[in-house]
């Protein structure tokens, strides 16, 4: 059926009305009849202005694109970094992925969480100290760490490390000991055991072997004629050690780790005391390190006072320089060391060491003994380097007062021996 509704979808659209100057409204001609006018309905804008507008539009578009790219890159980067630290922190937390090694660390008394975290991080045990601190605080385990020395593995979990540092059965008691000038390794070991630091037998094991822990050891060589490879290199001083005793006051059967910690302190002190200048001076004197410390140890034992050390050193150096006339140093203290420290302990050493006591006896062996006989003081070492020039080849000491007498000739020396009541004894020193 035909739809004649003029207002329907197909109804003819009204034509646009054009208002003229005389207000008459007429319908325009059809589009096909309308003349083409290039300027019709175009704004009147300068071409340069158009170029400027288009340039600004292009810049805004480029800026928007660049901003979007930067935002994408930042988003990806932040995600990657966060993922890395999350994974890294997680692995550190459970101790997975860390290179497996053990480190001994010393927790000082009253250490804070921050101090412990920094200590563990500096020793390579904890990779992310902030995460460690967060764990300790969140888990409520920030009640305090027990001072002492601990062996911690790089692959331990935070929980295990904290438990070890907060539930140890060791006492936190600090032991202050004075290592006296002229003490031997055996005497130092006994002192440490008496004060609960470690067992003497464990301590001696580290002195019997060259360990190459410190620079001074690189100047030494293993000598099978020596009783203890590192006798004499434990610097006399005042030290603090942690007690190895348990809460019941008992010494553990195995104190190897405690003994190592103790002897390292003494070795480290010696290493720091021997300066480059001292090395140059001893080499100028014709001594290697072992010979230098050996001579200083003999001076330490023979001299009664610091003032006498230089004169005693001059006697030994004069004899060494005149070895053809004085092949034997004839020092009683070397004999005492062989008798009191070497012979009683030969059974504890492996191999055939039966000839070692004789090698240390400077009445029977020429020149210096194979190694030091005690730990010399800094004064004794300085005396060897700065001994006065003398013509003395003999000395002796009065048994009661320990007053020393020096002589240039054998006849003078014999008169000194008569003076102190030792005439005819045939010994050079007391």
Distance in angstroms (rounded) separating the CA atoms of residues 24 and 17: 10
Residue 98 in 3-state DSSP?
coil
The H-assigned helical ranges of 123-237 are 129-138, 158-166, 185-194, 200-207
Round to whole Å and give the CA distance between 16 and 9.
18
Q: CATH assignment of 102-166, given 3.40.50.11740, 3.40.50.2300, 3.40.250.10, 3.30.1490.480?
A: 3.30.1490.480
**Coil, strand or helix at 91:** helix
Closest CA to 127 of 93, 104, 103: 93
The pair of three-digit structure tokens given for residue 30, joined into one six-digit string: 């059809």
Cα gap 264→241, rounded to integer Å: 11
How far is 39 from 34, CA to CA, in rounded Å? 14
| Of residues 415, 422, 414, the one with CA closest to residue 398 | 422
What are the C-alpha distances in Å from 160 to residues 127, 258, 375?
Answer: 15, 21, 41
Break the chain into its structural domains and give their ranges.
102-166, 175-272, 276-419
In angstroms, how far is the first alpha carbon of the chain from the final one?
150
In total, the chain counts a number of residues equal to 430
- Rounded to whole angstroms, the Cα distance separating 192 from 260 reads 12
Q: What is the DSSP string of 232-280?
A: T-S--SEEEEE---BTTSPPPS--HHHHHHHHHHHHHHHHHHS-HHHHH
Reduced to 3 states (helix: H, G, I; strand: E, B; else coil), residue 395 is strand
Q: How far is CA 234 from the centre of its chain?
A: 19
Q: Give the C-alpha separation, 42 to 138, whole Å.
A: 73
Structure tokens at 93: 């937390």
Work out the angle at residue 108's Cα, subtended by the Cα atoms of residues 103 and 110, and round it to the nearest 5 degrees.
135
What is residue 49's predicted lDDT score, i.e. its pLDDT? 65
Tokens (6 digits) for 51:
């170029």
How high is the pLDDT of residue 250? 86
What pLDDT, on the 0 to 100 scale, is given for residue 384? 96
CA–CA distance, 394 with 414 (Å, rounded to integer): 10
CA separation for the pair 159, 138 (Å, rounded)? 12
Determine if residue 69 is left, alpha or beta; phi over 0 gives left, psi from -120 to 50 gives alpha, anything else beta: alpha
Which helix (H) or strand (E) segment is 417 a member of? helix 410-419
User: Which letter, b or e, does each residue of 178-194 get, where b requires 16 or more Cβ atoms within 10 Å of its Cβ?
Assistant: ebebbbbbbbbbebbbe
Q: What is the pTM of this model?
A: 0.63
User: % helix / strand / coil in the chain, to the nearest 5?
Assistant: 45, 10, 45
pLDDT computed for residue 347 by the predictor: 64
Q: What is the mean pLDDT, run by run of 10 residues, along the chain of 430 residues? A: 46 48 47 46 60 64 68 61 47 46 79 88 86 84 76 78 71 84 96 94 92 89 91 95 83 89 92 93 94 97 92 96 94 94 73 79 94 96 95 91 91 91 56
């Amino acid at each position: 059926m035909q739809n004649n509704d003029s207002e329907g979808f197909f109804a003819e659209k009204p034509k646009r009305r054009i208002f003229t100057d005389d207000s008459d409204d007429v319908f325009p001609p059809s589009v096909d009849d309308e003349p083409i006018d290039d300027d019709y309905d175009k704004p009147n804008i300068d071409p340069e202005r158009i170029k400027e507008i288009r340039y600004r539009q292009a810049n805004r578009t480029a800026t928007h694109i660049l901003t979007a790219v930067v935002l994408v890159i930042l988003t990806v980067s932040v995600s990657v970094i966060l993922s890395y630290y999350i994974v890294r922190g997680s692995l550190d937390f459970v101790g997975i992925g860390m290179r497996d090694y053990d480190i001994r660390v010393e927790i000082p008394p009253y250490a804070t969480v921050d101090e412990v975290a920094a200590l563990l991080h500096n020793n390579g045990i904890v990779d992310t100290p902030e995460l460690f601190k967060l764990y300790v605080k969140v888990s409520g385990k920030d009640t305090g760490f027990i001072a002492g020395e601990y062996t911690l593995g790089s692959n331990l979990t935070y929980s295990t490390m904290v438990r070890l540092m907060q539930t140890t059965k060791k006492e936190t008691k600090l032991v202050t000991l004075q290592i006296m000038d002229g003490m031997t390794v055996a005497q130092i070991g006994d002192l440490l055991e008496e004060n609960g630091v470690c067992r003497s037998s464990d301590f001696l094991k580290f002195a019997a072997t060259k360990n190459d822990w410190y620079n001074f050891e690189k100047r030494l060589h293993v000598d099978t004629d020596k009783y203890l490879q590192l006798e004499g290199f434990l610097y006399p001083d005042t030290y603090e050690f942690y007690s190895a005793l348990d809460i019941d006051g008992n010494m553990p059967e195995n104190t190897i780790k405690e003994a190592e910690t103790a002897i390292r302190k003494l070795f480290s002190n010696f290493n720091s005391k021997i300066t480059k200048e001292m090395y140059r001076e001893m080499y100028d004197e014709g001594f290697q390190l072992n010979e230098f410390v050996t001579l200083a140890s003999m001076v330490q034992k023979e001299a009664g006072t610091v003032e006498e050390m230089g004169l005693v050193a001059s006697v030994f150096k004069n004899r060494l320089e005149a070895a053809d006339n004085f092949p034997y140093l004839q020092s009683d203290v070397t004999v005492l060391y062989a008798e009191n420290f070497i012979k009683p302990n030969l059974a504890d050493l492996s191999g055939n060491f039966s000839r070692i006591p004789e090698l240390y006896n400077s009445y029977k062996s020429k020149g210096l003994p194979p190694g030091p006989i005690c730990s010399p003081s800094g004064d004794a070492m300085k005396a060897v380097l700065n001994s006065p020039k003398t013509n003395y080849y003999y000395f002796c000491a009065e048994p009661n007062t320990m007053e020393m007498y020096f002589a240039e000739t054998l006849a003078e020396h014999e008169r000194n021996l008569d003076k102190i009541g030792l005439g005819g004894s045939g010994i050079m020193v007391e």
